[in-house]
Copies of this chain bind each other. A is one copy, B any other.
Amino acid sequence: MTGVLSERLVTIGEDDLEALARGAAVLGTGGGGDPYIGRLLATQALREHGPVALVAPEDLPGDATVFPVAMMGAPTVMVEKTPSTERIGATVAALAEYLGVTPTHIACIEAGGVNSTFPLVAAAQLGLPLVDGDGMGRAFPELQMVLPTLSGIACAPMSIADEKGNVGVLTTVDNHAAEALARSLTITMGCAAIISNYVMSGAQAREALVPGTLSLCARIGHRVERARAEHGDAVAAVAAELGGRVLHTGKVTDVARRTVTGFARGTAIVSGGAGELTLEFQNEHLMAVRDGVVQVTTPDLIIVLDTDTGEPVTTEALRFGHRVTVLAAPTDERWHSPGGIALVGPRYFGYDTDPVRFDARDLE
């Protein structure tokens, strides 16, 4: 890890959005949505309502009422049916009214190009501070795949809304049921919905969230910018910020995609000097294999960057001929607990392998 962990944002304004969205897309590990769309949504809200105050999880009052908000579904669809900032705020308000509580803070449940900036819109519109943290420290495709699930926090009651004005409130027997029911509503809503879920107290947020995510995103984004301005190595800057290392550098020589049970599953091959690296993805990059040997798997981070610019590449943007560098980096330690592996380990995604952890000893 580098020494810049202490650089923390205290507010997020329009000027921070580019770096924030780029860094969030890095943590999105191929999923979590296009940073450009994420930035567009947030820019409008911040221009209208001004900067949003950031609060570190450890500074939350124990009795704070924290409302995460996110986009569910296919971020690519969001461009064509962008919700108004009012609808995003209304989704939080619908859940608050159902619960009979007043939100004191907004939070991110996922780091990703869209889902790190989306909560900014809600915070700006509702005039609430935003928690500098998130529920994963990365992106994962299903609602139950968050650290709050490991802390016993319920996903539902949750609200779900479309851009037209349809709103649902779900109460479920467990977080897997919340995922199943919200997923079917999302599909009927046109494959993109606004959700608010995992309402938690300040005390719960301190325990269950990954602290500092938004500051980390901004730092990553700024380092990429600086490296580029100074004609330095943007990829190395990202690796350093995350305590990660380069797995492979090369050219994308094959991408196979198939849509299975609503997810974009696929395989990409990156060929280069050190042979071939095969990436298995399902919205996010979940496994990297070289010569039949699994190098690293979910829950650790597998990040694909444009080799020249350090720009994160989402799984849907992977193209033949693209020159990319694949990084691996450690995830939040809680994901490596038995409960974490049951929730997001490679077997859950259908890969027949035990988890292979990012190995920091290779970092010399």
Contacts and interface: CB of A to CB of B under 8 A. Distances in A.
Interface string A177-209: 100110111011100000000000000000000
B171 A168 contact: yes
Nearest to A167: B171
A279 to B, nearest CB: 31
A98 B173 contact: no
A170 interface: yes
A155 to B, nearest CB: 12
Nearest to A97: B98
A165 interface: yes
Given A98-B98, A168-B168, A184 B188 contact: yes
Nearest to A94: B171
Contacts of A169: 98, 168-169
A164 interface: yes
A84 interface: no
Nearest to A187: B184
A167 B165 CA distance: 20
Nearest to A165: B173
Contacts of A180: 188
Contact of A173 (B164, B173, B188): B164
A167 B166 contact: no
A171 B183 CA distance: 17
A172 interface: yes
A167 B180 CA distance: 13
Q: Which of A94, A98, A167, A189 has the most CB of B within 10 A?
A: A167
Interface in A200-259: none
Contacts of A166: 170-173, 177, 181
A181 B171 contact: no
Nearest to A158: B168
Contacts of A184: 184-185, 187-188
Interface string A80-117: 00000000000000100010000000000000000000
B185 A189 contact: no
Q: Which of A98, A169, A180 has the most CB of B within 10 A?
A: A169
A123 to B, nearest CB: 24
A180 B181 CA distance: 13
Given A188-B181, A189-B181, A170 B168 contact: yes
A267 to B, nearest CB: 29
Contacts of A183: 188
B164 A167 contact: no
Contacts of A185: 181, 184-185
Contacts of A188: 180-181, 183-184
A115 B177 CA distance: 26
Interface in A122-175: 164-173
Interface of A: 94, 98, 164-173, 177, 180-181, 183-185, 187-189
5 contacts: A166-B173, A181-B185, A181-B188, A183-B188, A184-B184
